[in-house]
C-alpha cells in the first residue's frame, strides 16, 4: 500500500524486493524452483530508476528521487543476462542437436504427468514433424540468448522483448506455465515510447482543434 501511494518509495521498493525474495526462498525450500527472480527484483531496480518521482505522495511533498536512465539500463542488462543464463544450459544439453526434439520432450513429460497442462498441449504434441520441432528448439534458444547482445540498441532490444512475449504465450498455451507477471518485468522498456506517443498526441490535438475552429470561422 505504501508503494501504491508512493510513500518513501525507494525504501519501500527495497523492502518489497527483500520480502519477495525471502518468500520465494521459503517456497523453493519445499522443492519448487522457478525463474521468477526477475519479478522479485523489479521493485528494487524501479526504486532506483525513480518510479515514485511524479504520481506519488513523495512527489507532492518534494521528497521524490530524480529518475535514472542508468538504473533502467542496468535492469535491461539484468533481464538480458537472466534469459541468456537460461539459453546456455539448453545449448550445452543438446538443444541445437539436429537429431533431438527437446521442446517436444518437455511436452511429452507434461502429458505423461498431467499435473499442469496448457490448452494446446495435446494438439501440439500430435504434430509429427521433426523439422517443426527443431525450428521451435532453435527459436527458443535464439529468443532467450540474443537479448543480452542488443541491450545497447533500444529498438532491437524492444523487438527482442516482443518476441519473448510471443514465446511466453506459446509456453503458457503448451506447457501451462503462467508468465503474466513478466508483463511488469518488461513494461518499463515501453514506457518511454508510450509517453512520447501520448505527448505527441497532446500536441497534435490542440493543433487539430485550432484548425477546425479556423475552418468554421472561415465558413461563417
pLDDT greater than 70 at residue 34: no
Residue 199 placed within a domain: no
Query: Terminal CA-to-CA distance of the chain, rounded, Å?
Result: 55
Residue 87 placed within a domain: yes
Pair 37, 81 in one domain? no
Residue 12 burial (C-beta neighbours within 10 Å; 0-12, 13-18, 19+): buried
Where a domain ends, among 67, 86, 107? 67
User: What are the helix and strand counts (H, E) for the chain?
Assistant: 11, 0
Domain extent for 101 = 77-191
pLDDT given for residue 44 in this prediction:
95
Around 182, how many Cα atoms within 13 Å sit in the side-chain half-sphere? 20
pLDDT greater than 70 at residue 214: no
Pair 63, 103 in one domain? no
Pair 128, 54 in one domain? no
What is the C-alpha separation between 71 and 49, in angstroms, rounded?
5
Residue 217 placed within a domain: no
Q: Is 128 left (phi over 0), alpha (psi -120 to 50) or beta?
A: beta
Give the pLDDT confidence of 80-121 residue by residue, as tens digits: 999 999 999 999 999 999 999 999 998 888 888 777 778 888
Q: 79 and 38 in contact (C-beta within 8 Å)?
A: yes
Pair 16, 93 in one domain? no
pLDDT given for residue 41 in this prediction:
94
Where a domain ends, among 43, 67, 91? 67
Pair 44, 87 in one domain? no
Residue 61 placed within a domain: yes
Q: How confident is the model at residue 218 (pLDDT cuts 50, 70, 90)?
A: low
Residue 213 placed within a domain: no
Q: How confident is the model at residue 220 (pLDDT cuts 50, 70, 90)?
A: low
Give the pLDDT confidence of 120-150 residue by residue, as tens digits: 888 888 898 999 999 999 999 999 999 999 9
Give the pLDDT confidence of 45-59 residue by residue, as tens digits: 999 998 988 888 988
Tell me what the mean pLDDT of segment 160-181 comes to: 87
**DSSP string covering 76-89:** HHHHHHHHHHHHHH
What is the C-alpha separation between 199 and 4, in angstroms, rounded?
24
Question: What percent of the chain has pLDDT above 90?
Answer: 46
pLDDT given for residue 69 in this prediction:
87
Residue 211 placed within a domain: no
Tell me what the mean pLDDT of segment 11-21 comes to: 95
Where a domain ends, among 48, 67, 86? 67
Residue 99 placed within a domain: yes
Pair 100, 158 in one domain? yes
Pair 60, 104 in one domain? no
Q: How confident is the model at residue 158 (pLDDT cuts 50, 70, 90)?
A: very high
pLDDT given for residue 36 in this prediction:
79
pLDDT greater than 90 at residue 78: yes
The more confidently predicted of residues 37 and 35 is 37
Pair 81, 148 in one domain? yes
Compute CA distances 123 → 109, 112, 127, 207, whole Å.
Answer: 15, 14, 7, 53
Pair 92, 177 in one domain? yes
Number of domains in the chain: 2
Pair 102, 173 in one domain? yes
pLDDT greater than 70 at residue 62: yes
What is the C-alpha separation between 16 and 3, in angstroms, rounded?
9
Tell me what the mean pLDDT of segment 173-183 comes to: 84
Residue 15 placed within a domain: yes
Pair 123, 176 in one domain? yes
Pair 60, 89 in one domain? no
Tell me what the mean pLDDT of segment 145-170 comes to: 92
Place of cell 497442462: 117
| Cβ neighbour number for residue 66 with a 10 Å cutoff | 7
Average pLDDT, the chain: 85
Amino acid at each position: 500500500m505504501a508503494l501504491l501511494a508512493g510513500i518513501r518509495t525507494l525504501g519501500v521498493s527495497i523492502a518489497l524486493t527483500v520480502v519477495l525474495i525471502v518468500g520465494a526462498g521459503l517456497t523453493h525450500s519445499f522443492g519448487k524452483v522457478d525463474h521468477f527472480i526477475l519479478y522479485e527484483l523489479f521493485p528494487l531496480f524501479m526504486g532506483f530508476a525513480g518510479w515514485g518521482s511524479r504520481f506519488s505522495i513523495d512527489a507532492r511533498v518534494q521528497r521524490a528521487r530524480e529518475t535514472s536512465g542508468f538504473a533502467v539500463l542496468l535492469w535491461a542488462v539484468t533481464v538480458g543476462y537472466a534469459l541468456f543464463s537460461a539459453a546456455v544450459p539448453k545449448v550445452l544439453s543438446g538443444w541445437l542437436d539436429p537429431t533431438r526434439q527437446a521442446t517436444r520432450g518437455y511436452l511429452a513429460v507434461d502429458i505423461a504427468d498431467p499435473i499442469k497442462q496448457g490448452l494446446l498441449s495435446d494438439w501440439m504434441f500430435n504434430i509429427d514433424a521433426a523439422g517443426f520441432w527443431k525450428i521451435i528448439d532453435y527459436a527458443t534458444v535464439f529468443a532467450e540468448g540474443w537479448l543480452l547482445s542488443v541491450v545497447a540498441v533500444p529498438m532491437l532490444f524492444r523487438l527482442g522483448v516482443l518476441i519473448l512475449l510471443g514465446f511466453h504465450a506459446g509456453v503458457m498455451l503448451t506447457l501451462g506455465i503462467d508468465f503474466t507477471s513478466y508483463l511488469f518485468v518488461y513494461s518499463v522498456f515501453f514506457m518511454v515510447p508510450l509517453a512520447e506517443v501520448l505527448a505527441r498526441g497532446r500536441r497534435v490535438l490542440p493543433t487539430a482543434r485550432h484548425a477546425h475552429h479556423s475552418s468554421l470561422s472561415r465558413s461563417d
